[in-house]
Amino acid sequence: MAEFDRAIQIFINESLELTDDVEQSLLNHQLLTHHFSDWIDELFRAIHTIKGNAGLFGFDEITTLAHAMESVLDQVRQRTTSVDEPLLEVLMEGNDVIRQQVIAVSSSSPMPDAEDVLAKVLPYLVQIATDRATIESNKPSDSNSDRHEGIWHISLRPNMTVFQEGLDPIGFIQYLGTKGELAQVALVTDALEKSINAEEMNDSFKSENSYLGYEIRFKGESSEEQILDAFEFIVNDATIEILPPNSSAERYYELAQRLPESTESLVEKFAQLGAIDAEQSKQWLEAHQIPSGIEATSSSIPSPIKSSKTLRVEAEKLDQLIDLVGEMVIMGARTNLLAHQTGNEPLIESMALLERLVENIRDSSLQLRMVQIGDTFNKFKRIVRDTSLELGKQVELVVSGADTELDKTFVEKLSDPLTHLVRNAIDHGIESTSEREKVGKPSCGTIRLNAYHDSGSIVIEVVDDGKGIDEQRVIEHARKLGLVGAEESLTKREIWKLVFELGFSTSDQVTDLSGRGVGMDVVKRNIELLRGSIEIESEAGQGSRFIIRLPLTLSIVDGFMFKVGGGDYVIPLDSVVECLELNEVIEANSSRDKKYVNLRDEVLPFLRLSEWFGLESSTPIEQEALIVIQLGSLRAGLVVDSLSGEFQTVVKPLGPLFEGLKGVSGATILGSGEVAIILDIFALIQTALSPTERINAERFN
């Protein structure tokens, strides 16, 4: 029972992935105009696989709908049905219903009704059936000439991975036997023998692979189409060649040359089965100088296709592995500290080597959780399509940086914030077609999703070429809500920050998409929970850019440690530009009240962390150190008591009591067992740049 439940779960996971692939293929139809065959084949295979797998488990509702869609796609593949927007819409709707049916299987819920979408699919099948009937009625009276009585010859070559797809070739051959008589079935073992012979050399033989071919002599009155129907579920996972009764010897010779095995062995096999004359076959082999033996023709046997193998691992097990690696890093740091205290040089050297190995294990473990963001971006094609249709706008989605990798945890938790930003861009940012044409813009608006690495962070941008954010309107609404004083002047950065305030909305109408004053504050909160930040850049009439910045991982980072007021603090090493002695860049006899320095003709604002945390600093000003940090285009300095150097940091979350504490993003355990605080770089830079925030912080302390 447990094995069956596991098989069901595999079916659910694979089917959901396939429905995602189908959706992306349907959305990419216009992009694949010049690759139509590849596009329709990929689409057909996905639906066919869902149908076959659902049939194995007896999910008749899924099988029925998938079979109807597959039939339509087959007509498209045969170019008897043209692809247009209504058909794409029907296929999209059918795919949505299949996804809902699969989800119902996973939750043991009642199957969604597919009658409505079937009613939209069936007219395409009825139309083609009507056309075929018309053609058949116009044929001569001998139109059934494709049916032959006698012995058919079938060459079946399953793909090497057919067993892994849950398909057994023998079962299909036995099913064919119910349609007539299996006169003879012979195995072709060239590929198996070659693989076993090569096992000692390169271990290419795999017990789960299929290496056998089948030569079948089928007796009955049938047609090629009826024979193929018997292999319907395996037709895309095998090569099938069919010769009708009384085929000439030349057709068998041509078949032997097309198949992957030795031509000589196949011709001999055909002769043994009585398909061709033995003496004539020998003469043909001699005349064509076909070399004998499998070894001489080994090059004709295709080598197995090396595809990337994916191993499904539960996220919980992966998280447990990362946690254990983190604990190993902490214990490694402690052991290294103890080794240095002993003064034993061989032990210290051995610990240095062990530390490098731990770092390699750490990096490899973290890579297991890294995934490309492209799959997440592709899902927004559907959101853009549906939202633009709902609002009656023309919008195109452009994706770049799809191969950028980030932690899987981010991918899961970024979906909602990105969805809100994209829908907002379509609703608030992109103008209607008429408005765009009036101002000389293209009638179709553009939304860009872009991802890239920058300074040890992941940056994700949502950009639109719409009308931008109206600064004055934002200020007016902020004053109505009491967020800004009547005479208070704001910088652009401060204006954009108002957009993320709770309950803030500039929309006059409440719709299904916006206007309730919720959303942007949730977007900001969700991103900050990932230790990230979000900023806005906007220009009237040109569009807006939302910039999300996230750390590479939530688990283990390379840090830089320093001391303030006797305590240890850590910041991400990637954000550190340089370290200086404060007295090298600050004017002599300067007081502690000064908040900026002249660093190589650049005004650099800085934040004295002892003041920020309300600590007494016993370090003289001439002995303080300045750490220059940078995040994107923002740069500031941190004044600390002393520098400790690089430190491999295992990030530990703060307890509920300290969640939301400004300027702090987590904690880590040192080799000595003491706790060091991990600081939030973005919050510190913002404080150093903003006098208002600095004043508020000083009041708080």
Please, which pLDDT band fits residue 416 given cuts at 50, 70 and 90? confident
In this prediction, residue 154 carries a pLDDT of 92
User: How does DSSP assign 527-591, residue by residue?
Assistant: HHHTT-EEEEEEETTTEEEEEEEEES-SSEEEEEEEEETTEEEEEEGGGEEEEEEHHHHSPTT--
User: How does DSSP assign 352-387, residue by residue?
Assistant: HHHHHHHHHHHHHHHHHTEEETHHHHHHHHHHHHHH
* Domain-embedded: residue 145: no
Q: What single-letter amino acid sits at 84?
A: D
* Domain-embedded: residue 296: no
Between CA 500 and CA 518 the distance in angstroms is 9
- At 363-373, the pLDDT tens digits run 788 778 788 88
What is the domain-level CATH number for residue 615?
2.40.50.180
Global pTM value: 0.58
In this prediction, residue 509 carries a pLDDT of 54
What is the domain-level CATH number for residue 160?
3.30.70.260
- At 168-188, the pLDDT tens digits run 888 888 888 888 888 888 888
Q: Are residues 569 and 531 in the same domain?
A: no
Q: Is the pLDDT of residue 352 over 70?
A: yes
Query: pLDDT above 90 covers what percent of the chain?
Result: 5
Q: Are residues 393 and 537 in the same domain?
A: yes
Please, which pLDDT band fits residue 280 given cuts at 50, 70 and 90? confident
Q: Is the pLDDT of residue 409 over 70?
A: yes
Q: Are residues 432 and 527 in the same domain?
A: yes
On the CB side of 320, how many CA atoms lie within 13 Å of its CA? Answer: 5
Q: Is the pLDDT of residue 144 over 70?
A: no
Show Cβ contacts of residue 354 under 8 Å, excluding neighbours closer than 6 positions.
Answer: 332, 335
Integer angstrom CA distances of residue 160 from 186, 302, 418, 567: 18, 11, 41, 62
First to last CA, the chain: 62
Q: Are residues 78 and 39 in the same domain?
A: yes
Between CA 650 and CA 558 the distance in angstroms is 9
**pLDDT greater at residue 429 or residue 146:** 429
Q: Are residues 265 and 406 in the same domain?
A: no
Tell me which residue of 633, 635, 471, 663 sits closest to 547, measured CA to CA: 633
Give the largest CA-CA distance in the chain.
111
Tell me if 83 sits within 8 A of 91, measured CB to CB. Answer: no
Between CA 9 and CA 629 the distance in angstroms is 48
Q: Are residues 344 and 378 in the same domain?
A: no
Tell me if 173 sits within 8 A of 233, measured CB to CB. Answer: no
107: tokens are 């939750």
Q: The tokens 């050399």 sit on which residue?
A: 201
Q: What sign does the dihedral 224-225-229-235 (CA atoms) show? A: positive
* Domain-embedded: residue 411: yes
Tell me which residue of 495, 452, 160 sits closest to 301, measured CA to CA: 160
Please, which pLDDT band fits residue 659 given cuts at 50, 70 and 90? low
Q: Are residues 56 and 194 in the same domain?
A: no
Q: Is the pLDDT of residue 143 over 80?
A: no
111: tokens are 């199957």
Q: Are residues 540 and 398 in the same domain?
A: yes
Q: Which residues pair with 240 in a beta bridge?
A: 156
What is the domain-level CATH number for residue 39?
1.20.120.160
Q: Are residues 342 and 385 in the same domain?
A: no
What is the domain-level CATH number for residue 469?
3.30.565.10
* Domain-embedded: residue 294: no
* Domain-embedded: residue 138: no
Q: Lowest-pLDDT range, 295-304, 482-491, 575-584?
A: 295-304
* Domain-embedded: residue 303: no
Tell me which residue of 407, 425, 63 sits closest to 233, measured CA to CA: 63
* Domain-embedded: residue 215: yes
Q: Are residues 71 and 114 in the same domain?
A: yes
Between CA 410 and CA 457 the distance in angstroms is 12
Centre a 10 Å sphere on the Cβ of residue 554 and count the other Cβ atoms it contains.
20
Between CA 263 and CA 289 the distance in angstroms is 11
Integer angstrom CA distances of residue 196 from 157, 192, 203, 206, 263: 18, 6, 9, 9, 20
Q: What single-letter amino acid sits at 610?
A: S
Q: Are residues 530 and 384 in the same domain?
A: yes
Tell me if 651 sits within 8 A of 557, measured CB to CB. Answer: yes
Tell me which residue of 48, 52, 96, 49 sits closest to 73, measured CA to CA: 48
302 CB-contact burial (10 Å; exposed 0-12 / middle 13-18 / buried 19+) = exposed
Q: Are residues 519 and 630 in the same domain?
A: no
Q: Phi and psi dihedrals of 451, rounded to 5? A: -135, 140
- At 61-84, the pLDDT tens digits run 888 888 888 888 888 877 778 888
Tell me which residue of 237, 191, 236, 240 sits closest to 211, measured CA to CA: 191
- At 284-343, the pLDDT tens digits run 888 776 554 433 333 333 333 333 456 667 777 887 888 888 888 888 878 888 888 888
For 347, the domain range is 315-369
668: three-class secondary structure by DSSP:
strand
Q: Which of 324, 354, 369 is the last residue of a domain?
A: 369
* Domain-embedded: residue 134: no
Q: Lowest-pLDDT range, 197-211, 403-417, 421-435?
A: 197-211
Structural domains of the chain, count = 5
